[in-house]
Amino acid sequence: MRFDIHVPEGEWLALIGPSGAGKSTLLDLVAGFLLPEGGTLRLLGEDYTKAEPAERPIGMMFQDNNLFAHLTAEENIAIGLEPRARFSHAARLQAREALAAIGLEDLANRRPAEMSGGERQRVALARLFLRERPILLLDEPFAALGPALRQDMLALVAALRERAAAPPTIVMVTHHPEDARGFADRIAFLDAGRIHLTGTVEHILDHEQDPRLRAYLGQAPRVTGS
């Protein structure tokens, strides 16, 4: 796999492509879970190629295992501010405010097993944004949700991003290309371990005629002639 891409600060980029194309691998390289065999990774203008994951200015959200089963919703958010056994009053207050922002203030004392899948992902999102990291990586966090709920969650991401003092850069892996429409600024299409195409959401989904992309989207290339 070989990746070459620049993501402008504050952009929302959606990564699409077939299984095995390298989407999650690319996110793992950015996050520091994998180290590249060559090349350079620059974040916010600085070289982070060999930095440990905890040293990187990144927040990440996965499809599963976003919450600690033994902690309440409030505590799961507060731990993003204070990774300790006992939380300060200030951290709990911020967690409560974050729960209110996502409409779940009544679930503060519930544990993950007592919440629905959508509620758990809302809590995970609140924790992610409360940490105020300038770069957010979303590795299919809503893949297990139905279409309508996925749209609700993406709208929540957009709303939380708009509320942030400095809108973070977002790189989102999705197996549902239409999820990018109305949210992402740009799409990158990965194929066979390469970033094959990049462009605006409208161009990639509606106008780009590359046969590999059309095959992935399940669309036949348009035939033109005189």
Distance between CA atoms of 152 and 160, rounded to whole angstroms?
A: 12
Give residue 62's pLDDT band: very low, low, confident or very high (50, 70, 90): confident
Q: How many helices (H) and strands (E) does the chain have?
A: 7, 8
Distances (CA, A) of 62 to 38, 92, 172, 214: 26, 24, 10, 27
For the stretch 74-125, pLDDT in tens is 999 999 888 776 888 999 999 999 999 888 999 999 999 999 988 999 999 9
Distance between CA atoms of 153 and 177, rounded to whole angstroms?
A: 15
pTM assigned to the model: 0.89
pLDDT at 221 over 70: no
Do 22 and 190 contact (CB within 8 A), yes or no? yes
Strand partners, 191: 194
Distance between CA atoms of 169 and 137, rounded to whole angstroms?
A: 9
The per-residue pLDDT of the chain, averaged, comes to: 91
Strand partners, 2: 194
Task: Tokens 């930095």: give the residue.
Answer: 51
Distances (CA, A) of 142 to 8, 99, 124: 24, 19, 11
43, amino acid identity: L
21, amino acid identity: A
Give residue 223's pLDDT band: very low, low, confident or very high (50, 70, 90): low
Neighbours of 15 (CB within 10 A): 27
Total count of residues recorded for the chain: 226
